[in-house]
């Protein structure tokens, strides 16, 4: 799949191409595999689904110029949207949600039919941002084993039980020339001298006049990034904002409560973009 500026994006695509389309955009430091359960549910429901790795992540190209701004991510999304026969619904987690919001807000014409943002708002809790950025910038030397990587994830997500078999993490790791396992993203994406895209390019309030489509915020009630104040600020920008709270879930809502998440988005899509 082609992004902008000649970037090649790895993607999983399924379903009837003539059916309403849903584009899935993962969070920073994740890959398209974080959506495996949601993609299956959407396909079972009859949607056409496009699930791609963001530039610098997973199996997509790394930018030779290290262009990892929110603007560049939105350009890639626009290229994917333009490859479809009709405007899709967009489902974005964290960085993916801000990418989708930015892409919509900067356009005067409608490029999507609905937007579902997963645990991200323009104003995030600073302490939560610092914690996630610290995790993304840690372990630059990689890991000796998958178990070591699993330990790092468990330390970041102490509320989630550590899996007895951590082999599933292999999709998010790659072995480099030093023989160690590294997260499956370009280190430049989260370098110390670069702003992290999901917190560094929130749209100016005046741009929200272009956001005229249905928007749902799915919030993890144990999230340390999205607060009640952040939700109310977002509602002030988008008065018609719908909010669905997922109990027992933190920032990684999809991984924490996948069944509840799938039910919420399918119900919303059925209202606003039925098969």
Does any domain span residue 173? Answer: no
* CATH number of the domain encompassing residue 51: 3.40.50.1820
The pair of three-digit structure tokens given for residue 217, joined into one six-digit string: 């915020």
The pair of three-digit structure tokens given for residue 247, joined into one six-digit string: 């109990």
Does any domain span residue 186? Answer: no
pLDDT bin (cut points 50, 70, 90) of residue 163 is: confident
Predicted local confidence at residue 205, as pLDDT: 62
**Percent of residues, the chain, with pLDDT higher than 70:** 97
Query: Is residue 220 classed exposed, middle or buried when 0-12, 13-18 and 19+ CB atoms within 10 A define those classes?
Result: buried
Measured CA to CA, the distance from residue 192 to residue 27 in angstroms comes to 19
Does any domain span residue 1? Answer: no
Predicted local confidence at residue 209, as pLDDT: 87
Does any domain span residue 31? Answer: yes
pLDDT digit string (tens) for 133-156?
999 999 989 999 999 999 999 998
Domain range for 59: 11-127+192-272
Contact partners, residue 79, CB within 8 Å, separation at least 6: 2, 3, 4
pLDDT bin (cut points 50, 70, 90) of residue 11 is: very high
pLDDT digit string (tens) for 221-263?
999 999 999 999 999 999 999 999 999 999 999 999 999 999 9
Predicted local confidence at residue 191, as pLDDT: 87
The pair of three-digit structure tokens given for residue 140, joined into one six-digit string: 């630059």
- Answer for the pair 53, 80: CB distance below 8 angstroms, yes or no: no
Contact partners, residue 185, CB within 8 Å, separation at least 6: 29, 56, 57, 58
**Is residue 201's pLDDT more than 70?**
no
Measured CA to CA, the distance from residue 206 to residue 105 in angstroms comes to 9
Does any domain span residue 84? Answer: yes
pLDDT bin (cut points 50, 70, 90) of residue 8 is: very high
Predicted local confidence at residue 193, as pLDDT: 73
**Is residue 215's pLDDT more than 90?**
yes
**Helix ranges restricted to H, the chain:** 36-45, 70-82, 95-105, 126-137, 146-156, 228-237, 253-256, 258-272
Nearest to 106 by CA among 23, 201, 197, 207: 207
Predicted local confidence at residue 204, as pLDDT: 60
Q: How many domains does the chain have?
A: 1
Does any domain span residue 91? Answer: yes
Residue 142 backbone class (left: φ over 0; alpha: ψ -120 to 50; beta: rest): left
pLDDT digit string (tens) for 165-188?
888 899 899 999 999 999 999 999
Does any domain span residue 155? Answer: no
Does any domain span residue 137? Answer: no
DSSP letters for 125-136: -HHHHHHHHHHH
Measured CA to CA, the distance from residue 138 to residue 63 in angstroms comes to 21
Predicted local confidence at residue 206, as pLDDT: 65
208 compared with 13, residue with greater pLDDT? 13
**Is residue 199's pLDDT more than 90?**
no
Phi, psi of 14 (to 5 degrees): -150, 165
The pair of three-digit structure tokens given for residue 112, joined into one six-digit string: 């999507």
pLDDT digit string (tens) for 46-83?
999 999 999 999 999 999 999 999 999 999 999 999 99
């Amino acid at each position: 799949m082609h992004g902008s500026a000649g970037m090649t994006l790895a993607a999983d695509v399924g379903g009837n191409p003539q059916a309403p389309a849903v584009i899935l955009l993962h969070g920073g430091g994740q890959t398209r595999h974080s959506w495996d359960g949601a993609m299956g549910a959407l396909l079972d429901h009859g949607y056409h689904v496009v699930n791609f790795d963001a530039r610098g992540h997973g199996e997509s190209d790394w930018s030779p110029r290290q262009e990892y701004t929110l603007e560049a991510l939105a350009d890639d999304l626009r290229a994917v949207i333009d490859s479809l026969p009709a405007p899709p619904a967009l489902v974005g987690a964290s960085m993916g949600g801000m990418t989708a919001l930015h892409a919509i807000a900067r356009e005067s014409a409608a490029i999507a039919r609905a937007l579902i943002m997963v645990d991200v708002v323009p104003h995030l809790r600073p302490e939560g941002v610092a914690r996630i950025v610290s995790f993304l910038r840690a372990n630059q030397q990689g890991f000796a084993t998958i178990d070591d990587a699993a330990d790092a994830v468990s330390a970041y997500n102490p509320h989630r039980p550590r899996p007895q078999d951590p082999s599933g993490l292999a999709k998010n790791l790659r072995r480099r020339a030093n023989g160690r396992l590294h997260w499956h993203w370009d280190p430049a994406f989260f370098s110390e001298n670069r702003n992290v895209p999901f917190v560094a390019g929130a749209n100016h309030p005046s741009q929200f006049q272009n956001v005229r489509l249905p928007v749902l915020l799915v919030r993890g009630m144990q999230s340390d990034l999205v607060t009640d104040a952040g939700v109310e600020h977002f509602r002030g920008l988008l008065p018609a904002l719908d909010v669905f709270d997922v109990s027992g879930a933190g920032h990684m809502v999809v991984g924490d409560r996948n069944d509840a998440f799938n039910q919420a988005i399918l119900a919303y899509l059925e209202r606003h973009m039925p098969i």
